[in-house]
Amino acid sequence: MDNQTKVTGVILAGGLARRMGNQDKGWVDFKGQPLVSYALNAMIKVADQTIINANRNLADYQKLGFPVVSDQSDNFDGPWAGIVAAMTLAKPGLLLVMPCDSPFFKASHLQKLLAARAENDADVAVAYDGKRLHPVFLALTTSLSHSLQIYLQSGQRKLETWLEQHNNVKADFSAEPDIFININSLAELNRLEKPAGIDNR
């Protein structure tokens, strides 16, 4: 990657979180901190600028001191809508994406996404755990903004289908698949809060 290439990070916190009782997952407390703080702590170590994509509690997110952008519609269209919205604020270069509910994904993992994209001169690097893709963990060129917007406007939502249309590479995290554990329900939150859960050091 060219040292002049700007990396814009986006934290996806715009979902409805139906399995969490429609709570705003970014503000769900995990081990004494809101979930969004873990994502921000990872992203700010890697990105030149960081954006939060949120559709609720905007004033609270703005108090964190980062630009906040909402989806371009009120339909809660999923992670792609958040990525498209972030593209409107991103500097030309790369967009680095992660969700707000994966507290075990660290700065080093984000660096690995960027490295995989650069080493393969790919349009997109997507995280892979050895069994399946995790397409909300991405490093992609901002030049794909128009393609992504057209894809969304066509009514399609399946992330993998769009990825297949571009030069993509898998960033292999098969040695540590647990980093993709995300908190989707109160039961998962309670299980991970217990000492027997994953060490978050």
Residue 197 pLDDT > 50: no
Side by side, the strands of the sheet bearing 93-99 are 68-69, 49-54, 6-13, 93-99, 133-141, 124-128, 168-172
pLDDT band of residue 22 (cuts 50, 70, 90) is: low
Over residues 80-94, the pLDDT tens digits come to 889 999 998 898 999
Element (H, E) at 153: helix 145-153
Name the least confident of 11-25, 41-55, 87-101: 11-25
The pair phi, psi for residue 14, each rounded to 5°, is -105, 5
Residue 200: per-residue pLDDT: 46
How crowded is residue 137: how many other Cβ atoms within 10 Å of its Cβ?
26
Residue 75: per-residue pLDDT: 63
Tokens standing for residue 80: 């792609």
pLDDT band of residue 165 (cuts 50, 70, 90) is: very high
Residue 198: per-residue pLDDT: 46
Within 13 Å of residue 36, how many CA atoms lie on the same side as its CB? 25
Look at the pTM and tell me if it is higher than 0.85.
yes
Residue 80: per-residue pLDDT: 84
pLDDT band of residue 76 (cuts 50, 70, 90) is: low
Residue 153 pLDDT > 70: yes
Over residues 100-135, the pLDDT tens digits come to 999 999 999 999 999 999 999 999 999 999 999 999
What residues form DSSP beta bridges with 141? 94
Residue 199: per-residue pLDDT: 46
